[in-house]
Amino acid sequence: MPLGYNQVLGEMAKPEAMRPHRVGLASWPTSREEARTRSLEALLAHTAGSGYEGTEWSPVTVSRYFPGDSPPVMARKARRAIERSGLVNFGSALHFQDGMLRQNGWQQTVIDQFKLTQDMGGEYATVQFFLLEDYLNTGGAYREDEAYLRWCADRVTAMRGAAWEMGLNFYLEVHIDRITEDPAACCRILELASCELNGDLSHLLYRGITRGQYAQKILKHVNHTHVRLARVHGDLSAAADDPAADWANGGVTWQIFELMKPVLATGLSSRAILGETGMMHLVTDTLTQDAALVPLYRAMARFADAGAQGIAIKVNNPEDLKPWG
């Protein structure tokens, strides 16, 4: 679903099809207060030492490490620290509340966050657009409110345009409690304001939404991804104490890969796969769990690299690919 404005990111000196997918650490796994998150230096040492190539940290994520600094100064300091550690901040995940997007001057607030993303070295913004509170926990009732869907689409169009004018890629994230939570409503918004999606597919998988016209349309729009294990009709953030054994048994590691296969099969425009293990349900040690999944993310990257070059790799069951050797 190329729009012509999102670029294929990564190593720009290489042809688009040859730009490798990179593996990074998203913000959520870093949110638990512990020794590895006590300082930015400690967090960067963990990230680089665990085999990630980059990060997807937002200005909010790193601001706690720079008390008293203005946002632009904080962003530039964070970028220098990230790059000194041998990493790159690929982009930022930004959260925009419904109420903020109704205020006068909301566009400037969005642009300011996009600019901080660039100051941190980011080349894309992935946006969580919060659902109107009246529609939370209603099972997607907003899908029938055409006026609201059109308002959402107008805001998406404006944000998308602002990002493109700044040279950033723009992705709208698939996420519960956001305007993308209901597949039918999400597809209607895409009809009104077509854009590439950040496919955090755990938000479909844990609800058992894996097929049908709406799921297929969403998958076709995915060109960036957050990866989190999820249990069908169970946990949104699932644990895998022994990822290799879980994979071999067709567990949650295999299930998220299987759902992502058609997304990865043509490559991602962001050329980035982000680990986003969340501190939720049975997951308590997010950084350790996410680091244990780096081999899975690398397997996804290799699969996507081949797909971007038009090479189809047959992976029909866990025995066809062994991320953990």
Q: What is the DSSP string of 157-207?
A: HHHHHHHHHTT-EEEEEP-TTBTTSSHHHHHHHHHHS--EEE--THHHHTT
**Hey, what are 192's tokens?**
């009104």
Domain 16-320 has CATH 3.20.20.150: yes
Question: Which sequence spans correspond to the domains of the chain?
Answer: 16-320
Does residue 3 register a pLDDT over 70? no
Residue-level pLDDT at 2: 46
Give the mean pLDDT of the chain.
Answer: 97
Does residue 63 register a pLDDT over 70? yes
Residue-level pLDDT at 27: 97
Residue-level pLDDT at 4: 66
- Give strand pairing partners of 274: 24, 226
Q: Summarize the confidence of residues 29-39 as an average pLDDT.
A: 96
Residue-level pLDDT at 95: 98
Q: Summarize the confidence of residues 121-143 as an average pLDDT.
A: 98
Long-range CB contacts (< 8 A, 24+ apart) of 131-139? 131/98, 131/177, 131/178, 131/179, 131/181, 132/98, 133/98, 136/177, 139/182
For 154-168, write each residue's pLDDT tens digit: 999 999 999 999 999
Alpha-carbon span 279 to 61, nearest angstrom = 15
Work out the pLDDT band at 197, boundaries 50, 70, 90: very high
DSSP 20: P
Alpha-carbon span 37 to 15, nearest angstrom = 37
Residue-level pLDDT at 84: 98
Instruction: Please give the order of strands across the beta sheet that includes 169-173.
Output: 88-89, 54-56, 22-26, 272-275, 222-227, 196-198, 169-173, 124-129, 92-96
Does residue 23 register a pLDDT over 50? yes
Work out the pLDDT band at 5, boundaries 50, 70, 90: confident
DSSP 58: -
Using alpha carbons, select from 16, 5, 9, 3 the residue that is nearest to residue 307: 16
Share of the chain above pLDDT 90, in %: 98
For 239-296, write each residue's pLDDT tens digit: 999 999 999 999 999 999 999 999 999 999 999 999 999 999 999 999 999 999 999 9
